[in-house]
Amino acid sequence: MIFLEQLRGELRKLFARPRTYMGYGAFLALELLVLTFYKLDKGKRAARQVLEQNGLDFGTFYSSLSISFMMILLSMFTLGSIFFALVGGDIVAKENEDGNLRLVFARPITRLRLLLVKYTAVTIYTLTFVLFVSVTGYLMAAAAVGFNGGLFVIEPKMKIFSAFPAWSEGATRLGMGAVGIGISMITLSSIAFMFSCMRIKPSSAAIITLTILFVDMILQNFPFLKPYEEYFVTYRMSAWLFMLEKHIDWAKIFESYVLLGGLNVTLFTIGWLAFQTRDFKT
């Protein structure tokens, strides 16, 4: 119960920050941008071309589900990574920089418990944010092109190409994918969280996190490193896309998420050790 009360306070802090609502606003704006692209003649023509080249019916797959998929993919890849790196990077370092930690440390809470509360809050925040983007993306797309239609997914890098003509199956797959990308994003938040626990400025924690993932992604795409792609974090983080394959390979997905889970635990432990051994001057 006490943990829940502490978690409530931590979430209240996260959700009360003006930055959170600026983030929501930015995501909505980006979704609107993607939607506008799809609604314009050029965008519509491009969508039609891709669908018809692949032998798919434009009327079925030019749909709210297909557009939502692109919205989620683009917004998480661009804004999501920056936003979660900022939030994760702030969670400890900003409180230290602002001096809030002094008042917290005057309390009989262990550093491990404090970090557990903060990490749980970041995890919940990340998941809910991804779900918000997914739901609003779908609702906006549905308002623009209607609720019906199937789901068409194309993602060349991960070699995903699927079409689900029935709305129910498409919606289920997209929902599963949204949960999956939320879980993947926790790893990004975990990297930022680990740096946030160190003697570092909040902005530095975010920048280092983004740099690591950016380098990871670039290296993963080098042709001579292709055989080793499964060793890259960003590859594992893309495992959610496998939920959108026609036939789901659960073993492949499970392997990636177990690895990401292990990585998250390791990152938390490193962060905790760094935090535990630090002096905090009043």
Partner 1 sequence: MLEVSGLWKQFGGKPALEDVSFTVKKGEIYGLLGHNGAGKSTTLGIILGMVEPQQGSVMVGGFDVGRERAQALRKVGAIFESPAFYEYLSGWENLRILTSYSGGFNKDDAREVVERVGLTKRIDSKVRTYSHGMRQRLALAQALLPEPEVLLLDEPTDGLDPEGIHWFREFILGLRRDRGMTVLFNSHLLGEVEIMCDRVAILREGRRIYEGNVRELAGDVPVFNVVLDPWDKACEIIHAHGGEIMEPGKVSLPVGLDPAAIVDALVASHVRIRAFTPVRKSLEDFYMEIRRNGSADPPATD
- What end-to-end distance do the CA atoms of the chain give, in Å? 30
Q: Which of 93, 114, 241, 244 binds partner 1 (CB under 8 A)?
A: 114
Rg for the chain, CA atoms, rounded: 20
Q: How many residues bind partner 1 (CB under 8 A)?
A: 29
* 3-class SS of residue 15: helix
The set of residues, in sequence order, having a beta carbon less than 8 Å from that of 34 and lying 6+ positions away, is 67, 70, 71, 74, 75
Among 42, 107, 159, 247, binds partner 1 (CB under 8 A): 107
Chosen residue from 18, 55, 156, 223 binding partner 1 by CB under 8 A? 18
Residue 260 bridge partners (DSSP): none
C-beta closer to partner 1: residue 41 or 279:
279
Question: Is 251 a binder of partner 1 (CB under 8 A)?
Answer: no
Q: Tell which one of 54, 78, 100, 266 touches partner 1 (CB under 8 A).
A: 100
Give the residue ranges of DSSP H helices in 221-249.
Answer: 233-237
52 part of the interface to partner 1, by CB under 8 A = no
Q: How far apart are CA 272 and CA 269, in angstroms?
A: 5
Any contact of residue 109 with partner 1 (CB under 8 A)? yes
Cβ contacts of residue 97 below 8 Å, gap of 6+?
201, 202
Name the segment binding partner 1 (CB under 8 A); options: 33-41, 74-82, 92-100, 159-167.
92-100
Chain residues in the site for partner 1 (CB under 8 A): 2, 5-6, 8-10, 12-13, 16-18, 98-100, 102-110, 114, 277, 279-282
